[in-house]
Structure formats: structure tokens, C-alpha cells
Amino acid sequence: MPASFPNRMISLRILAAFLFISILGITACQKNKNGGSEPTKETAQPAPTDRLLSVANVYYLNGSNAEAWFFETPLVFEFNTNTERGRLNYEALQYAKEHKLPVNVRLAPYSENRIDQIIPATAEQIERFNEEVSKRVPAEAAPSPDDPNAPFFGGSQTSSLVSYIPNTTVLNNIFSTIKSQCCRAPGVLIYGPRIPFQFVADGCYARAHKMRQLIEDYYGYQSYKVFNFACNGAGTLSVKATLWGNNCCVKWWYHVTSYVYVQTASGPVAYAIDPAMFNVPVSISSWVAAQKNLTCGYNGAAQGQAYYYSNAYTPGFPSASCTISPAADNTYTAANNTCTSYCPKLGCSF
């Protein structure tokens, strides 16, 4: 897929500061009201509320603001760079991205996606992270529906599944069943937990995976995954969420959903299934177009799509510039945990 991520050299001064805060922290002195001084320490140790994330991208928006992407979430994170801490945060994220290291992300108080401090991962965290990454199974790429040779039903997941949904009536019935599994819907539960379509800020990967489980395990039809992602190194997807009681804008760096092929008079046609964004199945082109909402800040940034067989879950460290390289979640363990965590939530932010 086209695009490039920023690639800036880390200065010795910044790198030294980065290592310094990871080991010792930053100590400051604060005057007390009696005129004396009382040392205060700004810890560089991870707190229980910090999120351990791996960096997909970091870039300047303008002279004083920057944005960061993380492989574990599509939500775009922001921070200010006109302070020393902000500049160190930027360089820490750059360093972590270039060396494929996780970082602890501490959010500002009373904010959902505003970074306060980036704290380097401990040696123990890095060891556990690398062990987890080593166990990931890469997903299998699928041909684009626009490929003249597609659909190509020869992937490793097609042995016992029906390739095409026979008509749009069956498709709409499948969509209604999937929609009824929402945390805010009264449908009879099929494969727990329920699916948080109402929480659009994060979790699209888990929602798509639970949809895959319903389409394939419950109905017996082959499904696929389509990833749409910002691919110019700085642009984002911009979406207006109006379903499930929402009326908000969200910025993602990627989005993923399930799609299927439906038999029509003119041949198989691909339909995206995404009850977080639509009340009916839609074409993939309509699904992509909805992620370019001008009222929510879309600025014409380039987007790319990647197509995979259905066990694809979340993006991982790419092998080339601006590729998705998703890993699989063949047991639904990660998807179930995410759905359970996000089911109580609503809206476009945490």
C-alpha cells in the first residue's frame, strides 16, 4: 500500500534524555509556603493505568501539536510539543517506532486520547511483549474484489464454507442477526459476549472478528476482512457516527470490517457489513467514502485498502513501509476480551 511514515534521526541529547527518564526520572524542587523547598519527583515508572502500546506512526501536525498511532488501537492520539516533555514524548515515540519497542502511554487527566507522558517500557515489559509478538500467526492476504481474477476462493479458510451468499434477502437476514448482537440491542445472544457496535472510538477489529464468527460458524458462509487506512504518513480517517444514540466525530488511522460475496444476476458482488456505521450492508466503496467525512475534519488525505481472509485481526509491525501485516486471532480470545471490556461504553472517545 502507498504511503510513508516519518523517519527522523534521534539526537544524542534527546536519546540521552530518553534513557535518563527511563531509569532515574526527573526530579524537581518545589518551594513550600513557609519558604523552604520540598523535592517532588516525576516518576518514570509505569502506572497501573498506563497503556502498553506499540507505535505505528508519529508526526507533527504543526509547530506545537503532534499525533501518534498505535497498532493496538485505531484511535488517533494527540499531544503538544511546545514543552520539553512534549518534545521528549515525540522523540521517545520516534525511537520506539524505529526500534519496534512498546511504550507506556499515560493520558492527560480528564482526556480520552491526549497524551501526557510517554514512558519507556521496562526490560520485563519488552521481554513479555516480544514473547507475545513471536507467537502471533500472520493472516493470509486475499485478492481485492476489484481484481479481475477475484473472487479467488482458494485460501486456507474455505474448505467447509459456502463461497457466496445466494441473494440479498439472505444477506439482509444475516446483517439483522449480527446487528441484534449489539450491546445496546435486545436480540437473543448467539456467541457471547455481545458486540459493542455503539462504541466507535475503538474495537473495530474485535467487532469484525465477532461478525466473522457469526457469518462463518453460525451461517456457514465465507467472509473476509477489509482494512482501510491512512497512507500518507499524516492523514487520518474522519467519520461521523450517528447510530446507536451517537452524534459524534471520530478520527482513526485505520478501520476494519467484514465483507462477503453475494451472488447476483451479474455475478458475485462484495458487500461490507458494519453495523457501527450503517443500518444495511453497503458496497466497499461506500464504506470507504463514509470515512472521508469533511465535517469531521477529513482533509483529503490518501487512503489505502488491504484485503485479507477472515482470521486477520489487528495490524502488526509491517515488513515494508505503510503495510498492514495483520496477525490472526483464531481462538476469538482477544476479540471476546475486547468486546467484554467495551460493551459498557458509548460514543467516539473513551
CA angle 265, 268, 273 (to 5 degrees): 115
Helix (H) or strand (E) holding 297: none
Determine the distance from the C-alpha atom of residue 90 to the mean position of all C-alpha atoms in its chain, rounded to a whole number: 20
208-217 residue pLDDT tens? 999 999 999 9
CA distance 255 to 316: 14
Say how far apart CA 224 and CA 220 lie, in whole Å: 13
The string of pLDDT tens digits covering residues 300-350 is 888 889 999 999 999 987 766 667 889 999 999 999 999 999 999 999 987
Each residue's pLDDT tens digit, 6-38: 333 334 344 344 444 443 343 333 433 334 333
Low-confidence ranges of the chain (pLDDT < 50): 1-42
Q: Which domains does the chain have, with CATH numbers?
A: 12-134 (2.40.50.340), 168-342 (3.10.620.30)
pLDDT of residue 12: 35
Phi, psi of 304 (to 5 degrees): -130, 155
Grid coordinates belonging to 332: 476469538
Q: Distance between CA 58 and CA 98 in Å, rounded?
A: 11
C-alpha span between 187 and 46 (Å, rounded) = 41
Residue 112's pLDDT is: 80
* Contact criterion met (CB below 8 Å) for 287 and 274: yes
pLDDT of residue 321: 63
What's 141-152 look like in SS3? ECCCCCCCCCCC
CB atoms within 10 A of CB 266: 6
For 209, the grid coordinates are: 472478528
Please, what sign has the CA dihedral across residues 74, 342, 129, 156? negative
Nearest Cα to Cα of residue 194 among 345, 202, 203, 185:
185
Handedness of CA 269, 179, 214, 239 (dihedral sign): positive
Q: Which three cell numbers stand for residue 153?
A: 476462493
- DSSP code of residue 112: S
Which residues lie below 8 Å from residue 105, measured CB to CB, with a gap of 6+?
50, 51, 52, 53, 70, 77, 115, 118
The confidence score (pLDDT) of residue 153 equals 62
Q: Do the strands 237-241 and 65-70 form a parallel or antiparallel pair, or are they unpaired? A: unpaired
Distance spanning both ends of the chain, measured CA to CA:
30
Segments in the chain forming alpha helices (H):
12-23, 84-99, 123-134, 168-179, 204-213, 284-289, 333-342
Q: Strand order in 303-309's β-sheet?
A: 267-273, 254-264, 224-230, 303-309
Contacts of 17 (CB under 8 A, 6+ apart): 88, 91
